[in-house]
Structure 1
Amino acid sequence: MEHALYRLLDEQRIAYQRFEHPPVFTCEEAARLTPGLPGAETKNLFLCDAKGRSHYLVAVPADAAVDIKALGESLDAKGLRFASPERLKKHLGLEPGSVTLLAAVNDAEGNVNVVVDEVLWAADAILCHPLVNTATLSVPVADLERLLRHSGHPPRILPVPRRA
């Protein structure tokens, strides 16, 4: 799956810098093991509504504490909650710890909505896992937007609500 992603990035002429590292499962681990990478560090959430009909891949700055209830209201998604590992595997082909904006390319059926915090989207580049948590790519935001649109997932950019 990771190799297919690199082929797609190359085919679509998406610029990226690749950095390999030991497996990371949290933003804190990533920051400790990959300090100073060129791009905005992210926290990625895979969420669904109460009935499991709508799914959301949400990217925010790594230090953001998201108010999921308020985000659900912003998205008109009742009962927004974390999706199960089974849903993550089914819709994005990922295991927990590898959630990334780049996984939108795995959602061929268009079941996942991509939401990006406006602060994150204002960065020059965003750091993303290439579908595995043993590497990080720095991708210019303009190229990331092109890739997401190509995959049928134009990002919804909004101020993601924070917990107080």
Structure 2
Amino acid sequence: MNKQEVYDFLYDKGISFEITEHKAVYNMDELAEVELPYPDADAKNLFVRDDKKRNYYLITVKGDKRVDLKAFQQQNGTRRLSFASADDLMAIMKLIPGAVTPLGILNDAECRVQVYLDRDFLDAPDKIGVHPNDNTATVWLKTEDLLTLIKEHGNTVQTVQIG
């Protein structure tokens, strides 16, 4: 799904959302230069894989958090983790680096990616800001709505405390 298809999908599902259009951003430093309506709800997304390239994970945390992959591995019982390649990202979620988002799960036809969402997103205001499969906008929606979309698509999703 491209950006407009994501908007249409959310609309068709009856999900309430807001859109902030902005310049293309490729990392959290660049996003910090953009004026956002809910800066405390923006998400940082890490697409990682295990050392055997058998399991892929999307780790989504609040934008100001750091993720210790070794600690994550120990807490969640995974094999050793490292960042997945741009080729894997394109093959599995049809995304480019800088546009990684939980909404990319909608492009994961084989439901290969396991999603780990930081539990902090469930706190008030229960809102999360993610790219609509394109790094020129941020979509703001309820965290529970995002979790429901991922589950309905068929990917596993867990809310865990990260960082």
The 8 Å contact of residues 12 and 147 in structure 1, kept in 2 or not, is answered as no
Letter in 2 for 1:145: L
Letter in 2 for 1:132: D
Is 1:115 aligned to residue 116 of structure 2? Answer: yes
Trace 1:1-164 onto structure 2 (pairs within 5 A). Answer: 1-37=2-38, 40-123=41-124, 124-160=126-162, 162=163
What is the TM-score of this pair, normalised by structure 1?
A: 0.91
- 1: CA distance, partners of 2:155 / 2:142: 17
Count of residues in Structure 1 that have an aligned counterpart in Structure 2: 161
Letter in 2 for 1:103: G
- 1: CA distance, partners of 2:145 / 2:42: 17
Aligned identity (percent) is: 35
The 8 Å contact of residues 38 and 125 in structure 1, kept in 2 or not, is answered as no
TM-superposed CA distance for 1:92, in Å, is 0.7
Letter in 1 for 2:147: E
- 2: CA distance, partners of 1:5 / 1:113: 20
- 2: CA distance, partners of 1:34 / 1:109: 36
The 8 Å contact of residues 145 and 154 in structure 1, kept in 2 or not, is answered as no
Letter in 1 for 2:44: K
Unpaired stretches in structure 1, ≥5 consecutive residues:
none
TM-superposed CA distance for 1:154, in Å, is 4.3
What is the TM-score of this pair, normalised by structure 2?
A: 0.92
Letter in 2 for 1:76: G
The 8 Å contact of residues 113 and 156 in structure 2, kept in 1 or not, is answered as no
The 8 Å contact of residues 122 and 144 in structure 2, kept in 1 or not, is answered as no
Letter in 1 for 2:42: E
